[in-house]
């Protein structure tokens, strides 16, 4: 599963999380994937290893949820500290009020926990836009990869980022996060908040 990341300052007019020039490959079912290239033994073995139990049964974790991707949790991961977590499985409208405190200059990673069910999902992407006092200050795009259905929770961990530091950088930031894919399906979109402080307290 390829993982690439871009990190850039955002254009205030850029509200689209997708590259308008990018054409995604056609969406394929598990049956179509397994039926293709059967004469290529190494490719067949690779696909069997990738898909696992999904080859022989339809993996459905939550029969009441029609989605292919169910995003469960976002966590801020800092070495030596307990993970700071946002529960994304329920009502996400209140998450903006739950403020993460981040010590300035610290190295942190973002972890997304999710479930894939029913069908393989292609080209998952995590896009995070950060604002301060309503002004866009940063945008990150992480190519997460393609994932097969599994009964277990799967996760993606971003490369390490460094929190801003210095008196000017301290304060409250609002974040808009989107978990999407090559086929422009918005699996989940949520807003949350963090505050840069001189220390963790």
Segments making up each domain of the chain, as ranges:
26-57, 59-197
> Residue-wise pLDDT tens for the chain (201 aa)?
444 444 444 443 444 555 655 555 556 664 565 555 566 566 556 555 666 555 556 788 889 999 999 999 999 999 999 999 999 998 999 898 889 999 999 999 999 999 999 888 889 999 999 999 999 999 999 999 988 889 899 999 999 999 999 999 999 999 999 999 988 889 999 999 999 999 997
Sheet holding 135-147, edge to edge: 4-8, 135-147, 121-132, 171-180, 188-197, 99-103
Of 124, 151, 148, residue with least CA distance to 63:
151
> DSSP letter at 30?
H
SS3 35: helix
Q: What is the pLDDT of residue 40?
A: 59
Distance (Å, whole) CA 35 – CA 75: 38
Q: What is the pLDDT of residue 119?
A: 85
Q: What is the pLDDT of residue 190?
A: 96
Q: What is the pLDDT of residue 2?
A: 44
Distance (Å, whole) CA 70 – CA 61: 10
Residue with tokens 């259905």: 149
CB 175 within 8 A of CB 189: no
Distance (Å, whole) CA 125 – CA 69: 12
Q: What is the pLDDT of residue 167?
A: 92
Stated pTM of the model: 0.73
Q: CATH classification of 59-197, choosing from 3.40.50.300, 3.40.50.2300, 2.30.130.10, 2.70.50.30?
A: 2.70.50.30
Q: What is the pLDDT of residue 122?
A: 84
């Amino acid at each position: 599963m390829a993982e690439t990341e871009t990190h850039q300052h955002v254009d205030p007019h850029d509200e689209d999380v997708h590259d308008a020039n990018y054409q995604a490959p056609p969406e394929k079912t598990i049956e179509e994937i397994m039926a293709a290239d059967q004469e290529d033994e190494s490719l067949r073995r690779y696909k069997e290893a990738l898909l696992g139990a999904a080859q022989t049964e339809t993996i459905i974790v939550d029969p009441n949820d029609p989605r292919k991707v169910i995003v469960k949790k976002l966590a801020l991961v800092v070495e030596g500290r307990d993970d700071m977590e946002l529960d994304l499985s329920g009502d996400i409208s209140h998450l903006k009020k739950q403020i993460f405190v981040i010590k300035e200059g610290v190295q942190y990673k973002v972890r997304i926990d999710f479930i894939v069910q029913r069908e393989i999902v292609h080209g998952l992407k995590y896009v995070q836009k950060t604002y301060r006092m309503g002004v866009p200050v940063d945008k990150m795009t992480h190519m997460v990869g393609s994932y097969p259905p599994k009964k277990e929770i799967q996760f993606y961990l971003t490369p390490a980022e460094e929190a801003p530091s210095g008196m000017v950088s301290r304060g409250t930031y609002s974040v808009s996060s989107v978990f999407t894919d090559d086929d422009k399906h918005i699996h989940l979109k949520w807003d949350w908040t963090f505050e840069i402080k001189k220390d963790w307290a």
